[in-house]
Amino acid sequence: MVTAADITERVVLVGVVRSQADVDEGMESLDELAQLATTAGAETVDRVIQARPAPDPATYVGKGKAREIVEKARQLRATAIVFDDELAPAQGRNLEDVAGVNPLAPDALKIIDRTGLILDVFAQHAHSAEGKLQVELAQINYMVPRLRGWGEVMSRIGGSRGGGGAAGPSLGTRGPGETKLEIDRRRIARRLRKLKDELKQVERTRTVKNRQRQRVGAPQISLVGYTNAGKSTLLNAFTGAGVLVEDKLFSTLDPVSRKLELPDGRAAVLTDTVGFVRKLPHQLVEAFKSTLEQTVHADLLLHVVDASQPDPRDHIQAVDQVLMQIGAGDVPRILAMNQVDRLDPETRRRLEGQFPDARFISATKGEGLDELLEAVAGRLAASQTIAEYVVPFDRGDVHSQLHELGEVQEEVAGEGGWRLMVKGPRSVLGRFGEFVAPFNPPGGRLDGTAEPGAGDDAERPEEAGQPQEDQPADGAG
């Protein structure tokens, strides 16, 4: 844990906006960057915003401006300059040259970018074996194109300052493993392969565990949202999970699942997972894909928003983008505008107008939580799907599981086995994909009478009868 005493880094933040009119927005983005810096244990000593139509391809801010910023940073005794974007490797190198970074000047100003900083925060907050492996994988993928060819000692990750200091690893150099420094490309490549193998192993174990958990047959709900929106607070409020809640970015990296009792007496599984941020580094999205994909397989997403942000739409958009990236764009979702206790009545009315379908809640004060649960139960009931199965007579296990997990609406014993029409959550029925009846007999119903009982609560008719396959069999489990 980083405490105030550990703060050794003093950073200057730099952002580029297109025009003078965008300066406010740029400042907001720098506020967030400052929060990331604080979370990583650094103190922000100055902020610079530059308006230019496009970032400079060579130095991001332009060479003259770069010199100016370096000068200012030196005067302020800053230890690093942090850019509010991912710098191209060449931009990073050029800026390092301006800042005088070289192997013989270990105390030179460091050049860090938004991605590097986020990776640093993730590295600090990764606790599980899987989380650590994922962060290291992302860090290596980030580092490889940025290695500088000046000898074996040089690598951006772990270029430790001074050596022998008591403060421990410094900003932008932290990693879950100790293997970051002084490794040449061959060793990096070897490490990458090993990491991927280990990750696969961990994922396999997790898949097995998941299957066991899902066997309970409860519908799956995932909390998603911008980092620091209050996802973990809501999980705690709903389930008494006792998960760590902090006014810090990316407190949660490892998914936590708890049983959620719904007002209609049924149970669901609620999962809290990693939060999102604007410009979430693609290396992280890649590395965390398997974790994030768990949200893809949910029956319902509960999108938690910090409504007290100046413009919650930005955050909502950033979250939507990541959801699209990981293929969860069309999972049904409920928008929960959280932290309403921090809104003045006027802002609240405006937001209610802007987001008519959202639920307005306060996870800390307990406001609106009962109504939110009602909405969750309603949506889950509505997003049930119906599928028809043919189960061979020698698969009594599957037959009884379908009875246990779904609501069997019709059943006949016929040629080839039992034919069953089953209603249930998509995530549950999807696991029996291999037993789905090859085609629906004309007339729909098993007994040859009229249409299936559409119109009750089948929300999306196209879903009926074709539950999605669970993850493609990868030979695991």
Ligand X SMILES: Nc1nc2c(ncn2[C@@H]2O[C@H](COP(=O)(O)OP(=O)(O)OP(=O)(O)O)[C@@H](O)[C@H]2O)c(=O)[nH]1
Per CB under 5 A, contacts with Mg ion among 90-149 are none
User: How many residues would you count in the chain?
Assistant: 477
Site for Mg ion in 213-232 (CB under 5 A): 232
Helix (H, G, I), strand (E, B) or coil at 11: strand
Q: Is 338 in the site for ligand X (CB under 6 A)?
A: yes
Q: Mapping DSSP to helix (H, G, I), strand (E, B) and coil, where does residue 50 land?
A: strand
Is 137:126 a contact under the CB 8 Å cutoff?
no
Measured CA to CA in angstroms, residue 5 lies from 8, 21, 164, 168, 173 at distances of 8, 39, 17, 12, 18
The DSSP secondary structure of 226-247, one letter per residue, reads: BTTSSHHHHHHHHH-------S
Which one, 9 or 272, has the nearer CB to ligand X?
272
* Position among 233, 309, 384, 385 found at the interface with ligand X (CB under 6 A): 233
Of the candidates 407, 399, 338, 408, the one whose C-alpha atom is nearest the C-alpha of residue 369 is 338
Member of 363, 387, 429, 464 binding ligand X (CB under 6 A): 363
H or E element at residue 124: helix 114-125
Answer yes or no whether residue 245 interacts with ligand X by CB under 6 A. yes
Q: Which of 38, 44, 173, 339 binds ligand X (CB under 6 A)?
A: 339
Closer CB to Mg ion, 248 or 419, in the complex: 248
Sign of CA dihedral 260, 430, 320, 48: positive
Residue 228 C-beta: closest distance to ligand X, Å: 4
Confirm or reject binding of residue 273 to Mg ion (CB under 5 A). no
Residue closer to ligand X, measured from CB, 92 or 225: 225
Binding residue count for Mg ion, defined by CB under 5 A: 3
CA–CA gap between residue 320 and residue 299 (Å, rounded): 17
Q: How far is the CB of 455 from Mg ion (least distance, A)?
A: 40
Asked if 126 and 184 count as a contact pair (C-beta separation under 8 A), the reply is no
Question: Interface with Mg ion includes 239 (CB under 5 A)?
Answer: no
Q: Which option in Mg ion, ligand X, none does residue 362 bind, with CB closer than 5 to 8 A by kind?
A: ligand X
Smallest distance, Mg ion to C-beta of residue 117, A: 19
Reported for 1-8, long-range contacts at CB under 8 A and 24+ positions apart, including other chains, are: 2/40, 2/41, 2/124, 6/41, 6/167, 6/168, 7/41, 7/42, 7/43, 8/41, 8/79, 8/165, 8/167, 8/170
Smallest separation, CB 62 to Mg ion (Å): 39
Asked if 246 touches ligand X (CB under 6 A), the answer is yes
Smallest distance, ligand X to C-beta of residue 336, A = 10
What would the x/- binding string for ligand X be over residues 261 to 300, using CB under 6 A?
Answer: --------------x-------------------------
Are the CB atoms for 46 and 10 separated by under 8 Å? no
Within positions 241 to 270, which residues make up the interface with Mg ion, using CB under 5 A? 251-252
Q: Would you give the distance in Å from CA 84 to the centre of its chain?
A: 20
The residue nearest ligand X at its CB is 275
Q: Select from 43, 46, 85, 341 the one that contacts ligand X (CB under 6 A).
A: 341
For residue 79, state whether it binds Mg ion (rule: CB under 5 A). no
Pick the stretch among 54-62, 241-249, 349-357, 445-453 that binds ligand X (CB under 6 A): 241-249
User: Contact residues for ligand X (CB under 6 A)?
Assistant: 225, 227-233, 245-252, 275, 338-339, 341-342, 362-364
